[in-house]
Every structure is written in C-alpha cells, then in structure tokens.
Structure 1
Amino acid sequence: MTNVAIILILIISVITDVRHRKILNMVTLPAILLAFIYYSFVSGLEGFLYSGEGFLVGLGLLIIPFVLGGIGAGDVKLLAAIGAWKGTTFVSYTGIYSGLLGGLIAIVLLLKRKELSYTIKQMLFSAVVLKSTNGSLLVNDEMPRALSLPYAVPIALGVLATFLLETFG
C-alpha cells in the first residue's frame, strides 16, 4: 500500500516538475495528510509518531537548500511526504541518493553544455564575480545561464535506489 502511494505521488510530481517546473500542493499536502491518517489508523499513536518523524526528517533534509534558494518548496514537501509514508530510515537514504544522483545529473548537463570547467572555476574562486567600479561593487552579469534541474527527478531516482537497497541490500 505505502509503495503504491509513493509511486503515484512520484509519477505525478515528476511529470508536473519536468513539464511545468512545479510540484503541486494538491499532490504533496494530501499525501502527507493521508500518510498520517493511514499510520494513525493502522498503528495508533505509534504509527502517527512514525509518520511524523519521517515527515520531519524529510522536511529537514531539504529545508536549508530551500532557504538558500537552491530548490523549491515543492521539492521539500515531496521529500517530507515520502518521509511521512516510509519513515526516517527510508527518507534518509532517499535524501542521500537523491543528492548524489542530482549531482551526477548536474555534471552530465554541464558537460553537455560544455560548462563544467567554467562552473568548477566559479565554485573554486567565487559564486559571484564582483567588479570594482568607482569604489562600488557590481555583480558581473556576463555569467552563463544558471543550470536548472527539476529536482523531482533525482528524488524519484533516490526513491528507486532506496527501494532497490531494501530489496537486494
């Protein structure tokens, strides 16, 4: 039951994130609520706490990247929903695999755009290139376009990796 719920949530979220760059509240918020209701019904207070702890870990894993502007709120809610359904251990592994796979996808995209060496140089020297003009600092707007990745894709791949780990690990 829980795996079916996760798969449905991910399919919808990946499609909307790839097409429209948005993970819908009408998917993530009911998913979170249904997880709490399901586990509360099945296991009472213990189930509610299981779902709540998973939710908080999922939320916590992406809250800092969200605050720093690296990802959207939908990504945070999606991982929190996964945590509410699958618990702390599953969402922790999913978060790790999502980060690794997202980084790998970003490297492939940068290689394809022939911007990997430039990006590495930028990361080593400075995230923002500053110029001094008459004593004032200006942001250099000659930087290439930012790399954008619909993060529901690495999250879905992270879930798949965690499913595989559970099954074969």
Structure 2
Amino acid sequence: MANIILVIVLCICFYTDIKTRKIFNYITFPTMLFGLFYNLLISGVDGLLFSGKGFLIGLALLFIPYMLGGMGAGDVKLMAAIGALMGTSFIFYSFIYTALIGGLIALLLIIKTKGVIKTIKSFSFNFTNVVFLKSSLGSIILSNEKINSISFPYGVAIVLGTLCTLVWGGF
C-alpha cells in the first residue's frame, strides 16, 4: 500500500514541479500524516518511530541546502514525506540516488547553457584557485549573479532518485 501511495505522490510532484516549479503542501502534508498513521497501524509504536525517524532524516538531509537558498521548501517537505512513508534506510538511499541524478542534471544543464569549453575553463579556474588557496569559498560557485545562474526543478531529481530506490533498493 505504501509503495502505491508513494508512486502516486511522486507522479503528482513530478508533474507539478515541472509545470509550476512547486511541490504543494496539499500533497506533502497528507503524505506525511498517512506515513505516520499507516506505519503506526501496521507496526504499532515501532512503526510510528520508524516513520518519525524517516521524517526527521528526510527533513534534515535537505534542510541546509534549503537554508542556503539552493532549493525550495517543497523539495525539503517532499523528502520528509518520503521518509515518513518509507523509513530511514529508504530515505538515505533515495537521497544518494537523488544527489547523483541532480548532479548529472546540473552538469548537463551547465554544459548545454554555457558550452563545453567555457564549462571546462570555469571548472579548471575554480579548481586551481581552491587547490592553491588563492580564493575564498565564494569563487567555487560558477556565478554569484542570479542572471547567470542555472536552476532546475530539483523535485524531478528527488522523484527519479526515489523511483531508483523503489526499483533497485540499496547498493
């Protein structure tokens, strides 16, 4: 039952994140509550703890990137909802798959937008500065200007990473 709810929620969030760049509370909050109550019903207090830990871990994994402005609150709440529904180990594997997929998407978008040569030069320059300690942490970022920044709906990476975990499980 939890897998079916998970797939439905992921499909809805995938669509809304691509279409509106938002993951809505009216999807994530009921999923969190369902996860808590479902696991409580199935396994009692142990199920509630299973779900609660998954919720907290899911929330914690993306909280710092959210606070730094790297993603929206909907992404964080989606991970928390997945954690509440599926538990701690599932959310860890989902996070790893999500990070890999998100990094790949970001790399492809950078290459597409800035071109291969410019991307390599920028990476080389930033890497050299970091290695030789000639720059501050801010130079690691390709661009500080919002005009030149590249963004994408990270919910897509979360959905794909979670589906990978659902299909393949852990490593």
Give the TM-score, by structure 1 length: 0.84
* 3-state secondary structure, aligned to 2:23: coil
C-alpha distance 67-140 of structure 1, shift in aligned 2 (>3 A): closer
User: Counterpart of 1:57?
Assistant: 57
User: Counterpart of 1:35?
Assistant: 35
Q: Which ranges of structure 2 fall in alignment gaps of 5 or more residues?
A: 130-138
User: Counterpart of 2:149?
Assistant: 146
Instruction: Tell me how far apart the structure 2 counterparts of residues 128 and 94 of structure 1 sit (CA, whole Å).
Output: 26
RMSD, aligned α-carbons: 2.3
Which structure shows the higher strand fraction? 1
Q: Which ranges of structure 1 fall in alignment gaps of 5 or more residues?
A: 130-138
C-alpha distance 3-146 of structure 1, shift in aligned 2 (>3 A): same
Residues 102-148 of structure 1, C-alpha deviation per residue, up to 9 Å, x if partnerless?
0001111111111523652575451579xxxxxxxxx985x752111
* 3-state secondary structure, aligned to 1:22: coil
- The runs of at least 4 consecutive aligned structure 1 residues that moved more than 6 Å come to none
From 157, 160, 164, the counterpart of 2:163: 160
Is residue 96–residue 158 contact of structure 1 (8 Å, CA) maintained in 2?
A: yes
C-alpha distance 8-128 of structure 1, shift in aligned 2 (>3 A): closer
C-alpha distance 33-140 of structure 1, shift in aligned 2 (>3 A): closer
User: Counterpart of 2:134?
Assistant: none
Name the % identity: 44
C-alpha distance 86-67 of structure 1, shift in aligned 2 (>3 A): same
Instruction: Tell me how far apart the structure 1 counterparts of residues 6 and 33 of structure 2 sit (CA, whole Å).
Output: 13
1:109-124 residue pairs with structure 2 within 5 A?
109-113=109-113, 114=115, 116-117=119-120, 119-120=122-123, 123-124=126-127
C-alpha distance 128-37 of structure 1, shift in aligned 2 (>3 A): closer
Instruction: Tell me how far apart the structure 2 counterparts of residues 82 and 140 of structure 1 sit (CA, whole Å).
Output: 32
C-alpha distance 56-104 of structure 1, shift in aligned 2 (>3 A): same
User: Counterpart of 2:23?
Assistant: 23
Structure with the greater alpha carbon radius of gyration: 1
C-alpha distance 128-154 of structure 1, shift in aligned 2 (>3 A): closer
Instruction: Tell me how far apart the structure 1 counterparts of residues 121 and 59 of structure 2 sit (CA, whole Å).
Output: 32
